[in-house]
Chains A and B, each alone.
Chain A
């Protein structure tokens, strides 16, 4: 049995299915993200693990124990709330010491552990501050320290970085990863931010409408999404409807808007499919090749260019690394090509219903 195991976890609100038959295994010490659009049931799942929401059915095992009949305050989990939920009337050190006080840990031991944990989150110099006098990033660290000081078996993070501005968020991503690894604590994070999930996690669980769509390492969900939804949700993707017309052991052929495209072999029945290609895998060829197109828009993003190209396949998004040269301008004729292994052939999405 894995360190944390969710089995058939389900939550109904009246007849509305917030979380549906959720199975998950998390290894000790690893960092797993639940990723999905707002309202897909991430928080509800986390709250069930935390013990604040009663599951309608299914069970949760942590380190071999069934958590069903253990109340939230006895589960001993470290939780970081989206709003941080700091105790505003206590100093940083008092906030961090709270969980140890509840565990009746004696004074000297408590002081030592508070100091160690504040050291870990680089806040030792602010131990006597009140939270009002701190920045968002510092409050975030206090919340993290308060959750970690009790040496929890499991750390739960609900959108931990969403209240920070973009620059700070990137810094805190690295910090969070460092702290999690130094503390060696098994972590489940909830986020709607795909870049955050990919940057931090050992494993990403993509959710939609209360269900798991795909679970894999960040690299694998990005490189080999199994559905158009996942392909769209992680990073940018050009998704087009097509028809799988032939497949042989050394390749498949799809037809999209009358244009034939080759890809690596797939194991899908012939018929309607979705083809997906990432904007950064599309090359602009110097000579006339398969796919001619006309640039309709060009956006400069600093490290890269973003082009919209109207082609026979439809409008394609193309990103180009900025190498110090001007890119094709709107109105210019260009030729696109790509390595066939970058073309993903995916099954057509069935609407995922909440049942």
Chain B
């Protein structure tokens, strides 16, 4: 295929990419250097004032710290649940495997908003869980779950787990099933086989799954917005508030750019680490 042909064939994708991603991104980037006045609105001067404001205020540090703590907790829990889940999935008979893959991926077919509202119904002070526990006499006053970081992590895990399972499952499929039999014939029991043979070989899958889950969780909006409300703010809901409530678009843009930068830095260094560690083994 000629260079020209291939360019023209990818033109629609490039146009879409350009119009919907690159242009807004550049505009947001430029916006983040403008200034805002409550009476005069946005002016076109260029300064680092917004970045200074964000980086000089412990309020924002707290929000960033919370966001990454939530993303990290979500990632770790997804790995803890997702790895065994993928392992069992891989060992099922083809029929049950396809059923369980559907069950695993099913949640992705439902809007995040709907699922999160479901969690709100479960977690609220008068929600299903608290009502049930109270009725059984196990607790006297409702356990606070809505508007907590824990609640957000719980719902995010539910949203993100399919990505982890898929990534780990992909690396399990690449693995030769005979390696487990080989370990068994050499005297290893089931636990040792999992720890010494299966797990090390799926680490690349866990790492790439973690990358996806972490970056999606750090920038998630719907779940923290519904379950965290005004009280538990994360970066994306803060950006939303700056844009829609305070109307300070430039400050919101600066926060958004900082989130983007932070996630990018984490992803790239994570990837570096993985590649350096595993290039020798899994070339």
Contact = CB atoms under 8 A, between A and B. Distances in A.
Interface in B33-81: none
A86 B200 CA distance: 13
B182 A81 contact: yes
A332 B282 CA distance: 60
B184 A89 contact: no
B281 interface: yes
Nearest to B185: A79
Given A102-B192, A130-B280, A73 B185 contact: yes
Contacts of A103: 187
A123 interface: no
A89 B187 contact: no
A132 B182 contact: no
Contact of B188 (A73, A76, A82, A85): A73
B201 interface: yes
Contact of B201 (A75, A77, A88, A99): A88
B162 to A, nearest CB: 26
B179 A102 contact: no
A50 B197 contact: no
Contact of B187 (A76, A83, A87): A76
A72 B184 contact: yes
A146 interface: yes
Contact of B186 (A51, A130, A133, A150): A150
B200 A73 contact: no
A72 B185 CA distance: 6
Contacts of B129: none
B176 A85 contact: yes
Contacts of A102: 186-188, 192
A81 B281 contact: no
Contacts of A76: 187
Interface in B147-204: 176, 178-179, 181-189, 192, 196-197, 200-201, 203
A300 interface: no
A86 B283 contact: no
Nearest to B202: A89
Given A102-B192, A132-B282, A133-B283, A73 B184 contact: yes
B201 A89 contact: yes
A97 B32 CA distance: 59
A147 B186 CA distance: 8
Given A85-B176, A130-B281, A132-B282, A77 B192 contact: no
A79 B196 CA distance: 19
B189 to A, nearest CB: 7
Nearest to B199: A89
B181 to A, nearest CB: 6
A98 B186 contact: yes
B257 to A, nearest CB: 39
Given A81-B178, A83-B178, A88 B281 contact: yes
B168 to A, nearest CB: 15
Residue among B179, B182, B185 with max Cβ neighbours from chain A (10 Å): B185
Nearest to A103: B187
Nearest to A51: B185
A219 interface: no
Contacts of B185: 50-51, 72-73, 75, 77-79, 147
A71 B108 CA distance: 42
B281 A89 contact: yes
A133 B280 CA distance: 9
Contacts of B200: 87, 89
A99 B187 contact: yes
A85 B182 CA distance: 7
A52 B201 contact: no
Interface in A56-76: 72-76
Interface string A187-229: 0000000000000000000000000000000000000000000
A83 B179 CA distance: 9
Contacts of B282: 88-89, 132
B281 A146 contact: no
Contacts of B179: 85-88
A52 B185 CA distance: 9
A128 B188 CA distance: 23
Which of A78, A81, A82, A147 has the most chain B CB atoms closer than 10 A to its own CB? A81
Contacts of B281: 88-89, 130, 132
A253 B176 CA distance: 57
Most buried by B among A82, A83, A89: A89
Contacts of A79: 181-182, 185
A132 B283 contact: yes
A73 B182 contact: no
A146 B182 CA distance: 9
Contacts of B189: 73
Interface of A: 50-52, 72-79, 81-83, 85-89, 98-99, 102-103, 130, 132-133, 146-147, 150
What 7 pairs across the A-B complex have the smallest Cβ distances?
A: A102-B187, A85-B178, A99-B186, A85-B182, A89-B200, A81-B178, A79-B185
27 contacts: A51-B185, A52-B184, A72-B181, A72-B185, A73-B185, A73-B186, A73-B187, A73-B188, A73-B189, A75-B185, A78-B185, A79-B181, A82-B178, A83-B176, A85-B181, A85-B182, A86-B179, A87-B183, A89-B282, A98-B183, A99-B186, A102-B186, A102-B187, A102-B188, A132-B282, A132-B283, A146-B186
